[in-house]
Amino acid sequence: MLCGREHDTQSVMLSKDTLIGVASVKLSVRVEGMAKGYGSRRVIEHLDLELGVGVTGLLGPNGAGKTTLLRCLATAATVDAGRLRILDHDPANRADLPGIRRRLGYLPQNPGLYAHFTAEQMLDYMAILKEMTDRTARRQEIDRVLTEVDLSDRARTKIRKLSGGMRQRLGIAQALIGDPPFIILDEPTVGLDPEQRMRFRALVSNLGERRIVLLSTHQTEDVATLCERVVVLCAGTVRFDGTPEGLAREAEGMVWLSAQRPASTEIFWRTSDGRYRVVGPRPEHAEDASPSIEDGYLRLLGNTVRSGA
Amino acid sequence: MSERSVSKRRSLRALLMFELRLQLRHPISWAFVAIVIGWRVTTTWQWMPDWSVEMADTALTGLVVGAGLMLSANLATLRDQRGDAGELFDPVPIRVDARTIATLLACVVAGTVLGVAVIAAQVGSMLVNSTPVGRFDLAELANGVLVTILMTTVGVAAGRWTPGLIAAPIVILLFFWAVFQFATSWLLPVVPRADLVVGAPRPPAWHALYVLALILVFGAAAVLRHGHGPYRVGLVTVGTALAVLTATMSLTSPEAALMRKAIDRSKTPTSIIEGADHCVSSGGVTYCSFPSYTGWIPLWEQAVAPVVAALPSEVRTTLPTVRQRTATGMIDPQVLADNILPGTTWGRNGGEVASRRWLAAQMAAAATGLPREGQYSGGRAGCDLRGQARAIVVLWLIGQVERPVLPGRSSVYVRERGNGAERARTNVQSDFGAVDYGAAELAYAERLLTTADAGDRIRAGWRKLVDPATNVDEALPILGLTAGSAASKAEGTPCT
């Protein structure tokens, strides 16, 4: 995989220390020198990352190692090298795993929701698996998360009868069970309609006020509107770590609007007004345009996206 | 106990209750339960229960209920392995081994509840309007429940070791194949009834413990999938040792020796009445049953006594013995001549009408010199009573017990000797066997049944009336009847 020009890794520390209940628990996730591969293929190579309270967007092309990183942070996979520290626990230590998992909400890319369960059965099952043993408390929690994702009226509908978007919302709901302080969402907005996406953004931004939310997505728009921090991963290493504005600035002076189709430019596309938006060297007679996060992302990974594609 | 282990126990209990609710509501389980209850109630409703038979058959239904539960247990176990479900279930505090244990326990409870319910439904239905005979064997019924639990446990183990959905149906087929292929082996978890002799020995209580040990083995094997800890390996080892021990005890029990004897004896054909020597005499008739069927002698007597009471006194002294017979074995013609042979079934809930009518017909036929079931007059095709006066008498005698009916008819194709050509033949099946009679004889008998002095007239004219040469027209004045519909002529060989 090609990941464009080399870029200095920035380390932006955004973690905050937060008090939960009476116990002082450091709400942070730290990844130090992490490496992970499958067989002989290295997917993540010496990755350092620290996450704190707030919504962090994780961007990267397919195969960048986003899902692998999320799986390791979700304790669904172990690292080959390096060290993870999640909510003051070490996932390499078996005794620490329940402590992490009890306080973790995870929406995998393809949540294997059991099609023969109703929505509330699935959530009840997940709540039990998250050690919620009191039935009344579970009932209330299920009602809460269903309301959060606007699925209350579908509580007793079999999952196989739910639309793709509804299933995705149910997947999000299960990640919210138990109000976990660390939430990992892998492509959560896939299949959501615009209205649902807006609701989702409101929900996640609300969650991000008191929790660590790590959001992996291909939707730069979601990152721009939701995340106070964005990490761009490519070929298993961090290519950018900073604010969305910072990512947009990556394309500062490299975004243009041209009335003519550029002859040889890195990346361009035709916009709704008929002009061409160009990310790269200035074409002749082109106007300067203010860069977006998408432009910054494309600029950062420019070599992977060929013009005209 | 640490906070963590209390939390684990509570979580396990919550998970167990969740799985139990699913298992007890699973449509597949209920479909199999409905099939078993429907099938068994339908097939046993009109027959008196013989516990020696029904215990084994009821226990065998545990296999079918278990098949349903095995499928649902297997689906429950595979829930976290289908598609990308692992992604969702991996990062939860409750680990997969706890999920397996909860599913196992839920399946054991569900298997027990549904197994007991299905057996109770069958036994309850058999107790309606019944006079049960035979040995009521609780160990056999317990075995039926245990085999249901065993199958659900195997369903969980199969789900953990083989992720495919096809595994459970294959295991079910293997179970059924083994049960019917090795039907007399006491190593089977449930042993079908062996019709070798009446009251054939059944596996002892050791066998139920053997099935219990198998449950332990498969349960531990399911959990063993998640790691070979000493506790788990120990459970499998202990379970296997217990299975071997209990199987040995079962196979070396006195019951097993009796079973081997019964199997050996079955290789030499025995008389169908061998062992039917528990006899009671009443009203001039001797009734003999197999030892476990004495409870039905009063039922036989209720069907025979009114016929005997209607006979002339001199005839009552020459009546055959009512002696029970098995379904298979040698039939000596002399046994047929000397005995009326009721089998090992008797009707109830409406089915008793046919049983009573059949037994009354045998006694009436014996009294009037007609062939009885198993005896043939006029060759295998049977004989025809149409036009004979004794047809009216014999039907009237049956009428003392139950209303007589016309013979049943069925078409069969027979291959002729010599040219090998096939031709259609109508088989007649009346209460006397292959003896035919017509609507006219039946109508006269029914009129006679409403006549007050019919008994006296019949007894007075007995010799003439039961003479095969006396026709209906000649009998009418003796019987005090006026001519009604004309009797049709005999279509087959007249009964002699």
Q: The pTM is what?
A: 0.83
pLDDT confidence of residue A309: 36
Rounded to whole angstroms, how far apart are CA atoms A130 and B92? 6
Which chain B positions have a beta carbon within 8 Å of A29's beta carbon? none
Nearest chain B Cα distance for residue A97, angstroms: 7
Rounded to whole angstroms, how far apart are CA atoms A234 and A252? 21
Which chain B positions have a beta carbon within 8 Å of A112's beta carbon? 80, 82-89
CA diameter of chain B: 101
Give yes or no for a contact between B249 and B211, defined as CB atoms under 8 angstroms apart. no
Q: Which of B92, B94, B100, B103 to mutate to test the interface with A (most CBs of A within 10 A)?
A: B92
pLDDT confidence of residue B379: 61
Q: How confident is the model at residue B410 (pLDDT cuts 50, 70, 90)?
A: confident
Whether the per-residue pLDDT at A306 is higher than 50: the answer is no
The ipTM of this complex is 0.81
Whether the per-residue pLDDT at B408 is higher than 70: the answer is yes
Whether the per-residue pLDDT at A7 is higher than 50: the answer is no
Residue in chain B nearest A121 by alpha carbon: B18
- Nearest Cα neighbor of B54 from B323, B349, B350, B344 is B344
Q: How confident is the model at residue A219 (pLDDT cuts 50, 70, 90)?
A: confident
CB atoms within 10 A of CB B296: 23
Of the ranges A79-93, B299-313, B385-399, B479-493, which one carries the lowest mean pLDDT score? B479-493
- Nearest Cα neighbor of A196 from A173, A227, A230, A229 is A173
Span B442-479, pLDDT tens digits:
999 999 999 999 999 999 999 999 999 999 999 999 99
Whether the per-residue pLDDT at B227 is higher than 80: the answer is yes
Which chain A positions have a beta carbon within 8 Å of B79's beta carbon? 114
Of the ranges A26-40, A251-265, B447-461, which one carries the lowest mean pLDDT score? A251-265
Nearest chain A Cα distance for residue B95, angstroms: 8
Rounded to whole angstroms, how far apart are CA atoms A102 and A150? 24
Which chain B positions have a beta carbon within 8 Å of A130's beta carbon? 92-94
pLDDT confidence of residue A305: 47
pLDDT confidence of residue B150: 97
Rounded to whole angstroms, how far apart are CA atoms A68 and A79? 9
Rounded to 5°, the CA angle B356-B357-B361 comes to: 120
Q: What is the mean pLDDT of residues A192-219?
A: 89
Q: What is the residue-wise DSSP string for B5-52? A: HHHHHHHHHHHHHHHHHHHHH-HHHHHHHHHHHHHHHHHHTTB--BHH
Nearest chain B Cα distance for residue A33, angstroms: 22
Q: Which of A116, A130, A133 sits opposite B92 (nearest CB)?
A: A130
Rounded to whole angstroms, how far apart are CA atoms B288 and B272? 13
| Token pair for B387 | 């036009």
Nearest chain A Cα distance for residue B49, angstroms: 41
pLDDT confidence of residue B323: 94
Please answer yes or no on whether B82 and A124 come within 8 Å at the CB atom. no
Whether the per-residue pLDDT at B215 is higher than 50: the answer is yes
- Nearest Cα neighbor of A87 from B91, B80, B99 is B91
Rounded to whole angstroms, how far apart are CA atoms A220 and A243? 13
Please answer yes or no on whether B85 and A97 come within 8 Å at the CB atom. no
Q: What is the mean pLDDT of residues A97-110?
A: 91
Please answer yes or no on whether A109 and B87 come within 8 Å at the CB atom. yes
pLDDT confidence of residue B211: 96
Q: What is the mean pLDDT of residues B95-107?
A: 93
CB atoms within 10 A of CB A277: 20
Which chain A positions have a beta carbon within 8 Å of B87's beta carbon? 71, 76, 108-112
Residue in chain B nearest A118 by alpha carbon: B22
Rounded to whole angstroms, how far apart are CA atoms B311 and B298? 20
Please answer yes or no on whether B91 and A113 come within 8 Å at the CB atom. no
Rounded to whole angstroms, how far apart are CA atoms A261 and B412? 91
Give yes or no for a contact between A251 and A296, defined as CB atoms under 8 angstroms apart. yes
Span A124-167, pLDDT tens digits:
999 999 999 999 999 999 999 999 999 999 999 999 999 888 99
Please answer yes or no on whether A98 and B90 come within 8 Å at the CB atom. no
Query: Chain B: which residues have CB within 8 Å of chain A?
Result: 4, 7, 10-11, 13-15, 18, 75, 79-80, 82-94, 99
Residues in CB range of B411: below 8 A, 6 or more apart: B424, B425, B426, B427
- Cα–Cα distances in Å, from A289 out to A221, A256, A272, A292, B55? 18, 5, 15, 9, 88
Q: Which of A97, A112, A126 sits opposite B84 (nearest CB)?
A: A112
Which chain B positions have a beta carbon within 8 Å of A71's beta carbon? 87
Please answer yes or no on whether A76 and B90 come within 8 Å at the CB atom. yes
Whether the per-residue pLDDT at B397 is higher than 90: the answer is yes
Rounded to whole angstroms, how far apart are CA atoms A99 and B78? 26
| Number of CB pairs, chain A paired with chain B, less than 8 A apart | 77
pLDDT confidence of residue B377: 59
Helix/strand/coil for A279? strand
Q: What is the mean pLDDT of residues A240-249?
A: 93
Residues in CB range of B24: below 8 A, 6 or more apart: B110, B113, B114
Q: What is the mean pLDDT of residues A64-68?
A: 92
Pairing type for strands A229-234 and B321-323 reads unpaired
Residue in chain A nearest B80 by alpha carbon: A112
Rounded to whole angstroms, how far apart are CA atoms B473 and B467? 13
CB atoms within 10 A of CB A177: 22
Helix/strand/coil for B289? strand
Q: What percent of chain B has pLDDT over 90?
A: 63
Please answer yes or no on whether A110 and B91 come within 8 Å at the CB atom. no
pLDDT confidence of residue A266: 64
A125 touches B: beta carbon within 8 Å: yes
Nearest chain B Cα distance for residue A34, angstroms: 19
Rounded to whole angstroms, how far apart are CA atoms B344 and B333? 20
Q: What percent of chain B has pLDDT over 70?
A: 96
Whether the per-residue pLDDT at A9 is higher than 80: the answer is no
Q: Chain B neighbours among A 138-177 (CB < 8 Å)?
A: 174
Give yes or no for a contact between B437 and B383, defined as CB atoms under 8 angstroms apart. no
Rounded to whole angstroms, how far apart are CA atoms A198 and A206? 12
Q: How confident is the model at residue B381 (pLDDT cuts 50, 70, 90)?
A: low
Give yes or no for a contact between B321 and B276, defined as CB atoms under 8 angstroms apart. no
Q: What is the mean pLDDT of residues A19-34?
A: 68
| Token pair for B363 | 């006694």
Whether the per-residue pLDDT at B196 is higher than 90: the answer is no
Q: What is the mean pLDDT of residues A56-63?
A: 92
Nearest chain B Cα distance for residue A43, angstroms: 18
Which chain A positions have a beta carbon within 8 Å of B15's beta carbon? 128-129
Please answer yes or no on whether A108 and B88 come within 8 Å at the CB atom. yes
Q: What is the mean pLDDT of residues B78-83?
A: 83
Q: Which of A78, A121, A125, A183 to mutate to test the interface with B (most CBs of B within 10 A)?
A: A125
Which chain A positions have a beta carbon within 8 Å of B13's beta carbon? 133
Average pLDDT along chain B: 90
pLDDT confidence of residue B311: 96
- Nearest Cα neighbor of A180 from A210, A201, A206, A200 is A210
Q: Of B192-196, B377-381, B383-387, which one has max mean pLDDT?
A: B383-387
pLDDT confidence of residue B111: 96
Core vs surface per residue A1-36: b (16+ CB within 10 A) or e: eebbeebeeeeeebbeebeeeeeebbbbbbbeebeb
Whether the per-residue pLDDT at A209 is higher than 70: the answer is yes
Nearest chain B Cα distance for residue A113, angstroms: 6
Q: What is the mean pLDDT of residues B217-237?
A: 92
Q: How confident is the model at residue A11 (pLDDT cuts 50, 70, 90)?
A: very low
Whether the per-residue pLDDT at A307 is higher than 50: the answer is no
Please answer yes or no on whether A108 and B87 come within 8 Å at the CB atom. yes
Which chain A positions have a beta carbon within 8 Å of B10's beta carbon? 131, 133
Please answer yes or no on whether A114 and B85 come within 8 Å at the CB atom. yes
Q: Which of A109, A118, A128, A156 to mutate to test the interface with B (most CBs of B within 10 A)?
A: A128
